[in-house]
Structure 1
Amino acid sequence: MSVRYESAIDLEKVSAIDMHVHLEVDECGHKAMPEDLFEASAAYFKSAERTPSVDRIAQVYREAGMAAVLFTVDARTALGHEPNSIDDLVAGATRNNDVLIPFGSVDPRTGEAAIIEARRQANELGVLGFKFHPSLQGFDPSNEEFYPLWTALQELGLPCIFHTGQNGMGAGLPGGRGIKLRYSNPLLLDDVAADFPNLTIIMAHPSVPWQDEANSIATHKANVFIDLSGWSPKYFPASLVKMGNNVLSKKLLFGTDYPLITPEKWLGAFAELPLKDEVRGGILKDNAVRVLGLGK
């Protein structure tokens, strides 16, 4: 019987909510991606601890006094590799529901099955959102083939994180292992945001080399946000930092990409950015509380 997640996060006690944390190995030791992609991404990010367990991730964030959104990516069609168990992920997040928030994932290329599974994950497992990686999953989110899925997710009322910009997955491999960067152009999500105005879209990462496009979309569309994961803040594009102090102050979300980047490393660099104190607090926690619908 499946476990259903209920949050027990004390928002008064956590200093930040990390919107972007990967669970790369499930309870049975199955990895989320083929081994060559793991090795390439570890080399690209120079990460020390590549596959921490759910309980290890919870320990890291509990000791840091923070909460974290936890997910995996279902890319079974594109990679020919079975995904990690969402049920196990939710069970682990439930076991650590004082600090962890589970997101679901489905493979859009599985059609109606993806819609059925998304509804199951939301209604039976209690996930609080969904994660997609268009380049890794090999699909164009603006293609109307996938609009039935976005319709279903809009009806569920849960936010969706989409990878955008440069891709560490497959970096340095021949042909990038067939992974196509154009699927992660944020302009593809502008179509989705326009056609599904009640679907909350989070564009993951500073969207290099398309940062100006991402800034424009997040400014223009009330339902679009940007998480700041995947890059050390010291490398953030200047336009993102500048707009973060004004028109994007309510649209930016703290995220690390842990275990690829640790919270300590990210926060150390973030402290050096020329941001207003009130903006800094919104990015670290308050904006995420609103997007996730916590504290209602």
Structure 2
Amino acid sequence: MKIIDVHSHWGTKRGYPLQTPAEREQQKATWNSQVNYHSEAEMAQYFRDSGVQAILDFGFSKFLPMDEARALHDYAFETEAAHRDVILGHWIHIDPRSGEAGLRELRRCIDKRIGFLGYGVSASLSPPASDPLYAPFYKLCIEANIPVLIFVGTTGLGAGLPGGAGVILDDCHPRHLDRVAATYPEMKIVAARPGWPWQAETIAVLMHKRNIWYELHGWSPKYHTADLRHEIPRRLKHRIMFGADYPLLSYERLVGDWKAQGYPDEVLEGIFHRNAQAFFESLKT
């Protein structure tokens, strides 16, 4: 089955999502997988072999000095240009505390984009999505008609490390998603990952703000809450999109786990690619 993965990371050493030795040591405990670097060509071939087209995410780039982040973004565009059949584009993370320098870099990326481009707001060691510091970034996204990815629920970043490596889980409570959606009704928004331990609250926001799409990266579907499993083939049927979190989770595992949940083929086709195609179409309006 064709797969559009709207949220994964990089399997290359330069782009690997877990950057510190302590984070990499936790990969087995958190995601039940091992660190295994690939070249850019190997990563792209894995996507081809898996029938996947992916949107990739440099979640850690917001922690870098702006010149290093700029070089990483250029690396992303260069790799996309070399493998356009399987890399659809990128989520760009820029800390709003970077101010005008960050806005210039987001504007540069918008102007340089090849395919898809969106702005990622993870709130892990950066302000929650409802912080007023994001206002000029959101306004730029509206002006450029690019979507914003707002993370909800717990994160694997810092999991198992002392003090969670400083990550405050409450900064990803869906109340922030709700406030942003209410404040910027014209902005295209995607909620990212299962909202546990606030899954019911996340569903409530999605049902109230019906222009928000929902991608479920980072979790095997066998661990979804009963609330989420109930809504996937019902009220959220046309807004759920597949996200893998490669290389932390493999397509072999995730596709098998999704098929084992007993959802009708029509629902799985929506999750795996049809809903993402509808999402892309919505960005043209």
> TM-score by structure 2 length?
0.89
Q: How many angstroms does 1:135 deviate by?
A: 3.4
Query: Structure 1 229/140 Cα, relative in aligned 2: closer, same or farther at 3 Å?
Result: same
Kindly provide the CA deviation profile for residues 186-235 of structure 1, in whole angstroms up to 9, marking residues without a partner as x: 22011111111222221111111011111111222132111111111111
8 Å contact kept, 1:41–1:171: no
Query: Quick check: 1:16 aligned with 2:3?
Result: yes
User: Which stretch of the first structure deviates more once superposed, 274-283 or 245-254?
Assistant: 274-283
Q: How many angstroms does 1:50 deviate by?
A: 4.2
User: Which one of the candidate residues 193, 207, 210 is aligned to 1:222?
Assistant: 210
- Return the alpha-carbon distance in structure 2 between the equivalents of residues 57 and 101 of structure 1: 14
Aligned residues: 280
Query: Which consecutive unaligned segments of at least 5 residues does structure 1 have?
Result: 1-13
Kindly provide the amino acid, as one letter, of the partner of residue 27 in structure 2: S
Q: 2:22 is matched with which residue?
A: 36
Q: 2:184 is matched with which residue?
A: 196
Q: 1:48 is matched with which residue?
A: 34
SS at structure 2 position matched to 1:241: helix
User: Which one of the candidate residues 271, 277, 282 is aligned to 2:270?
Assistant: 282
Q: 2:87 is matched with which residue?
A: 100
- Return the alpha-carbon distance in structure 2 between the equivalents of residues 211 and 109 of structure 1: 29
Kindly provide the amino acid, as one letter, of the partner of residue 76 in structure 2: L
RMSD (CA atoms): 2.5
User: Which stretch of the first structure deviates more once superposed, 138-147 or 256-265?
Assistant: 138-147
- Return the alpha-carbon distance in structure 1 between the equivalents of residues 72 and 20 of structure 2: 15
Q: 1:261 is matched with which residue?
A: 249
Query: Quick check: 1:69 aligned with 2:55?
Result: yes
> In the TM superposition, what are the counterparts of 1:206-245 in structure 2 within 5 Å?
206-245=194-233
> TM-score by structure 1 length?
0.86
Q: How many angstroms does 1:80 deviate by?
A: 11
Query: Which consecutive unaligned segments of at least 5 residues does structure 2 have?
Result: none
SS at structure 2 position matched to 1:191: helix
User: Which stretch of the first structure deviates more once superposed, 151-160 or 261-270?
Assistant: 151-160
Q: How many angstroms does 1:71 deviate by?
A: 1.8
Q: How many percent of aligned residue pairs carry the same amino acid?
A: 30
Kindly provide the amino acid, as one letter, of the partner of residue 54 in structure 2: A
- Return the alpha-carbon distance in structure 1 between the equivalents of residues 129 and 255 of structure 2: 31
User: Which stretch of the first structure deviates more once superposed, 83-92 or 165-174?
Assistant: 83-92
Query: Structure 1 21/146 Cα, relative in aligned 2: closer, same or farther at 3 Å?
Result: same
SS at structure 2 position matched to 1:55: helix
